């Protein structure tokens, strides 16, 4: 069992607070992604879990043990970083075996583990090669194999795929997901790439300015963002927002249309994803400004009542800049946010 508990963890560097009161439980064998823009504190949180950084306050528990005062090597974790620290002068075998030799694991067991993890990562034919002769993708596989060979309870990864080209990244992403599910390891993975986060995670913790804004499954984060920040950060293109005025009894005026929404007496923000609108008879009057045919669909950036509004439409539609459209929001996909708190109210 390797559940990870992060209790009221905060971290300051001098006067700067990098993490505020982080509380998070990562369940045994869960794949948790920490997602956020540069500087939001995700690496700092990972380093605190690893023991490479100490928290200013709070507690870290791994597998039922409080680990705050334990060095990284005694925490039952293995790490893979962006600059994966594969030693070029060692063979692939010796690179994968490195941590096991440090722990004085018997030779026969080292051989078994190296061969097993190398096969998992599809590098079993490279074991005799020097790592300096490998491609970036192959070196990355060696780094992951080395971490898995430790048979850790927990694997911590910080942007491990960021040095790879787009195609290799896609391949490695799928492989990593399969391998980690098979090895039953609890994983925490740091990235600023939302597609990577969506594809890998059991749950995503969306971080912003040193706080976790939402921790939920990828589809929940996408469909039911808990805060305006999440709605604007997840999804490419992001959600559309329009001001909404209450007209009484849960009815709202949005860009000249009347819609049903939550019971709330103050103005709200209406939000909808670009793919959750359809051309219809009734809805928002829109003027197309930019039309981008993206193959699978047509991305149309419009003006709706003075606000920018993006719609993802069927690629068979013909739309030209200047065309007038009527866009109907799909009622069950509408989200409402309170501008006072920036939180979702439905
Ligand atoms: P990135 O994706 O760019 O790595 P991040 O979300 O991982 O960003 P962190 O590296 O955790 O962000 O940094 C969070 C904040 O804490 C940043 O503003 C950073 O400048 C600051 N910070 C991190 N380490 C230190 C340090 N050793 N001393 C001072 N400030 C630091």
Mean pLDDT by 10 residues, the chain (346 residues): 94 96 96 95 96 96 94 90 80 94 93 91 91 84 90 91 80 84 90 92 96 97 95 92 93 94 93 96 94 93 96 94 96 96 92
The CA angle 6-7-9, to the nearest 5 degrees, is 85
H-type helices in the chain, by residue range?
42-50, 92-102, 107-120, 136-149, 166-183, 194-200, 218-223, 228-233
Q: Is the beta carbon of 265 within 6 A of some atom in ligand 1?
A: no
Nearest CA to ligand 1 atom 1: 38
Instruction: Note whether 179 and 148 are within 8 A (CB).
Output: yes
Planar angle of CA 330, 333, 336, nearest 5 degrees: 115
Taking CA atoms only, the protein residue closest to ligand 1 atom 2 is 38
The answer to whether 284 and 327 have CB atoms below 8 angstroms apart is yes
CA atoms in the 13 A half-sphere facing the CB of 109: 11
Give the per-residue pLDDT at 84: 65
The answer to whether 47 and 53 are in contact (CB under 8 A) is yes
Please give the backbone phi and psi of residue 189, each rounded to the nearest 5 degrees, phi first: -130, 125
The size of the chain, in residues, is 346
Q: Is the peptide bond before 237 cis (omega within 30 degrees of 0)?
A: yes
Q: Say if ligand 1 is within 6 A of residue 13 CB.
A: yes
**Atom 5 of ligand 1, residue of closest alpha carbon:** 39
Judge if pTM exceeds 0.85: yes
Distance 58 CA to ligand 1 centre (A): 19
Q: What is each CA distance from 133 to 77, 89, 144, 178, 179, in whole angstroms?
A: 28, 9, 17, 26, 24
Q: Specify the pLDDT at position 122.
A: 84
- The residue to mutate among 39, 45, 193, 205, having the most atoms of ligand 1 within 8 angstroms of its beta carbon, is 39
For residue 294, how far is its CA from the centre of ligand 1 (angstroms)?
Answer: 36
Nearest CA to ligand 1 atom 3: 38
To 10 degrees, what angle do helices 92-102 and 107-120 make? 130
Pocket of ligand 1 contains residue 36 by CB under 6 Å: yes
**Residue range 187-202, pLDDT digits in tens:** 999 999 999 999 999 9
CB of 34 within 6 A of ligand 1: the answer is no
Closest ligand 1 atom to the C-alpha of 46? 11
Question: Running DSSP on this structure, what letter comes out for residue 291?
Answer: E
Distance separating alpha carbons of residues 317 and 288, to the nearest angstrom: 13
- Tell me whether residue 332 is exposed, middle or buried, using C-beta atoms within 10 angstroms of its C-beta: 0 to 12, 13 to 18, 19 or more: exposed
Cα distance between residue 200 and residue 32, in whole Å:
8
For residue 275, what pLDDT is reported? 96
């Amino acid at each position: 069992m390797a559940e990870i508990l992060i209790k009221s963890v905060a971290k300051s560097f001098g006067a700067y607070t990098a993490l505020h009161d982080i509380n998070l439980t990562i369940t045994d064998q869960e794949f948790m992604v920490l997602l956020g823009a540069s500087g939001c504190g995700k690496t700092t949180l990972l380093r605190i879990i690893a023991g490479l950084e100490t928290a200013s306050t709070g507690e870290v528990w791994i597998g039922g043990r409080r680990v705050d005062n334990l060095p990284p090597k005694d925490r039952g974790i293995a790490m893979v970083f962006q600059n994966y620290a594969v030693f070029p002068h060692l063979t692939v075998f010796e690179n994968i075996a490195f941590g096991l030799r440090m722990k004085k694991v018997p030779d026969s067991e080292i051989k078994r583990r190296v061969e097993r993890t190398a096969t998992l990562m599809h590098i079993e034919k490279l074991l005799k090669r020097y790592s300096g002769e490998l491609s970036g993708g192959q070196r990355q596989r060696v780094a992951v194999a080395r971490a898995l060979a430790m048979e850790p309870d927990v694997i911590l990864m910080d942007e491990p795929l960021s040095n790879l080209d787009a195609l290799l990244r896609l391949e490695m992403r799928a492989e990593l997901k399969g391998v980690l599910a098979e090895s039953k390891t609890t994983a925490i993975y740091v990235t600023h790439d939302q597609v990577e986060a969506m594809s890998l995670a059991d749950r995503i913790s969306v971080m912003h300015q040193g706080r976790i804004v939402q921790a939920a499954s990828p589809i929940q984060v996408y469909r039911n963002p808990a805060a305006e920040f999440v709605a604007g950060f997840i999804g490419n293109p992001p959600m559309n927002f329009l001001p909404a005025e209450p007209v009484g009894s849960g009815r709202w005026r949005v860009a000249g249309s009347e819609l049903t929404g939550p019971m709330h007496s103050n103005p709200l923000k209406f939000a909808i994803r670009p793919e959750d609108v359809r051309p219809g008879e009734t809805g928002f009057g829109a003027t197309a400004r930019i039309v981008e045919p993206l193959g699978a669909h047509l991305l149309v950036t419009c003006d709706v009542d003075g606000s920018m509004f993006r719609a993802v439409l069927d690629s068979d539609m013909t739309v030209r800049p200047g065309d007038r459209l009527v866009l109907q929001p799909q009622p069950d996909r509408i989200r409402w946010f309170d501008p006072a708190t920036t939180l979702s109210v439905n």
